[in-house]
Amino acid sequence: MAGGDATLNPYAIVRAQVKQACEALRLDDSVYELLKQPVRILEVAIPVTMDDGSLRTFTGYRSQHNDALGPTKGGIRFHPDVNLDEVRALSMWMTIKCSLLGLPFGGGKGGVICNPKELSEAELEQISRGFIRGVSAIVGPEKDVPAPDVYTNPQIMAWMMDEYSRMQRSNAFALITGKPVELGGSLGRGEATGRGCVVTIQAAMNKLGMKPAGARVAVQGFGNAGTVAARLLHEIGARVVAVSDSRGGVTSPAGLDIPAVIAHKARTGSVVGFPGAAPISNADLLTMECDVLVPAALENQLTAENAGQVQARIVAEAANGPTTPAAQEILFSKGVFDRPDVLANAGGVTVSYFEWVQNLYNFYWTEDEVNQRMQQMMERAFEAVHALKERHHTTMRQAAYMFAVKRVADAMRLRGWLRRAPAGRQPGRAAAN
């Protein structure tokens, strides 16, 4: 695909990724037929009384892609660019992610078109409560279990859990994950996405014979995932040479003092202006000299235009969908070790699974137990994908999709969802005895 990106539409991209995996596995056509779109999508209008007394409606979506393996699972994003195709795509990625990690969940995702940075707490609370009221008929601990995503947080999960519990007239902690620890949240959930990403980076370093100490890391995006990944990498001796957020970035060849950058962002709202570091744009950060690149922001950051200039040996996708298919091909041909999103950021949903289990059992684990189990599951998934990649001489991404699609296809076959064999070829009935 030398010409460039055929599309930047994430829904078209994930459909192509799933189709490719079905073809590589030589699955019956009916598998892709069932996986090519979400089974259910709900659009809701959320009325909010704004602080100035006016009434505004916000649009929200919940997409449930496939529930062959269990209740659908996935976050809710509050962002001005949320749109139906993005939500659909993100729900498909969740099906792949949950399947890859061996979780008993299908894939779902939600989003509300809004800019939380311009909303007061009272307005945000109304959006959160209104969204969950609007989708209440299709979510629930055994149906669809939401969680945080871009610009949503434990407080928003608490409001949603509370609103749903009021409607049910009983506490429903297992409705949603990523809650505050005081309200049934799991220890370790807040850090899980970044921590899981670091587990996969260390596993990749092992394969390449690299050491974390002194490795130069650039992190694009300083939200939940990026901040934690940067901090943990800093703690194990890596040199975090650049970080950025939506306003811009900072770089220091000697390595940034990450706890100090976190404190600076808490004080000023951005990493920009961190004393002693030089400014760097989000675009330049992606192609700067480094060993590990962690895109931890939004979709379509590495494209046909800039992938050729990427200098990192390992790209670990803490964000969902940051690399376009054309960029992926370029990175593969350059020998870059890809840690695809469905693997690299799956620590979050893995600990969400633990949270759901803890809520259902009303029995809570220590932070060490959570972290250890998550690490084990991430390492197991990494090794399975790596083995498949070697066997098929393909990318980690393609191998991850093959592994995940196979598990969903097996579940659908066993449930009797796939095309039946033509009448003449049906196996004879076993004698009932």
Q: Which of residues 68-127 bind ligand GLU (CB under 6 A)?
A: 73-75, 97
Considering beta carbons, is residue 76 or 412 the nearer one to ligand GLU? Answer: 76
Considering beta carbons, is residue 178 or 194 the nearer one to ligand GLU? Answer: 178
Q: Kindly state the smallest distance separating residue 152's Cβ from ligand GLU, in Å.
A: 8
Considering beta carbons, is residue 46 or 150 the nearer one to ligand GLU? Answer: 150
Q: Kindly state the smallest distance separating residue 388's Cβ from ligand GLU, in Å.
A: 21
Task: Catalogue the active-site residues.
Answer: 109
> With contact defined as beta carbons under 8 Å apart, do 222 and 230 qualify?
yes
Beta bridge partners of residue 339, listed in sequence order: 316
Q: Which of residues 238-297 bind ligand GLU (CB under 6 A)?
A: none
CB-neighbour burial class of residue 72 (10 A; exposed 0-12, middle 13-18, buried 19+): buried
Q: Is 322 in the site for ligand GLU (CB under 6 A)?
A: no
**Coil, strand or helix at 294:** strand
Cα(89)–Cα(320) distance, rounded to whole angstroms?
Answer: 10
Could you give the residue ranges of the DSSP H alpha helices within 299-395?
Answer: 325-333, 341-344, 347-361, 367-392
Kindly report the backbone phi and psi dihedral angles of residue 329, in degrees, each rounded to the nearest multiple of 5, phi listed first: -60, -40
> With contact defined as beta carbons under 8 Å apart, do 269 and 293 qualify?
no
Dig out the tokens for 63 from the structure.
Answer: 């997409």
Of 345, 375, 395, 398, the residue at the interface with ligand GLU (CB under 6 A) is: 345
Q: Is 177 in the site for ligand GLU (CB under 6 A)?
A: yes
Give how many residues touch ligand GLU by CB under 6 A: 13
Of 149, 163, 317, 338, the residue at the interface with ligand GLU (CB under 6 A) is: 149
Of 67-75, 161-169, 198-206, 329-337, the segment contacting ligand GLU by CB under 6 A is 67-75
CA 343 to chain centre: 9
> With contact defined as beta carbons under 8 Å apart, do 323 and 342 qualify?
no
Cα(19)–Cα(82) distance, rounded to whole angstroms?
Answer: 24
Considering beta carbons, is residue 74 or 106 the nearer one to ligand GLU? Answer: 74
Considering beta carbons, is residue 86 or 149 the nearer one to ligand GLU? Answer: 149
Q: Kindly state the smallest distance separating residue 366's Cβ from ligand GLU, in Å.
A: 20
Of 348, 374, 381, 411, the residue at the interface with ligand GLU (CB under 6 A) is: 348
Q: Looking at 136-289, which runs of residues are DSSP E strands?
A: 144-148, 216-220, 239-245, 248-251, 278-280
Considering beta carbons, is residue 75 or 194 the nearer one to ligand GLU? Answer: 75
Q: Kindly state the smallest distance separating residue 265's Cβ from ligand GLU, in Å.
A: 21
Of 87, 96, 112, 147, the residue at the interface with ligand GLU (CB under 6 A) is: 147
Q: Measured at CB, which residue is nearest to ligand GLU?
A: 75
Please name the amino acid found at residue 298: L
Q: How many CA atoms lie within 13 A of 368 on its CB side?
A: 0
- Which chain residues interact with ligand GLU by CB under 6 A? 73-75, 97, 147, 149, 177-178, 320, 345, 348-349, 352
